[in-house]
Amino acid sequence: MDWMKILAAVAGVMMLFYLWPAYKHWSQNSPEAKPGDWQAVIFALGAVILLILLLISVVQS
């Protein structure tokens, strides 16, 4: 349905307007990462990726 696509697009644009001030604030005011901070994030997100791969193999079996 075309009007559903238009509605979804309107919602997406609205979301962008909502996100823009938050993006500006955090890109200017985010504190610097300390040594080891990015490794901690990569470790956590790596675990999430492994879990998703495991879940995919569960539904495929």
Partner 1 sequence: MNQTNVSIARSPEQILSANKVLKNTYLLLSATLGFSALTAMISMGMNMPPMTYMIALIASMVLGIFVLPKTANSGTGIGVIFLITGLMGFGLGSVLSMYLALPKGPEIIATAFGGTGIIFLGLSGYALTSKRDFSFMGGFLFAGMMVLVIAMLANIFFEMPALSLAISAGVILVMSGFILFDTSRIARGEETNYIMATYGLYLSIFNIFISLLNLLTAFSGDD
3-state secondary structure of 57: helix
Question: Cα(39)–Cα(24) distance, rounded to whole angstroms?
Answer: 25
Cα 2 to chain centroid distance, Å, stands at: 27
What is the amino acid identity at position 47? A
- Interface residues for partner 1 in 27-56 (CB under 8 A)? 27-34, 37, 40-41, 44-45, 47-49, 51-52, 55-56
14 binds partner 1 (CB under 8 A): yes
18 binds partner 1 (CB under 8 A): yes
Q: Which residue ranges make up the site for partner 1 (CB under 8 A)?
A: 1, 4-5, 7-16, 18-20, 22-23, 25-34, 37, 40-41, 44-45, 47-49, 51-52, 55-56, 58-60
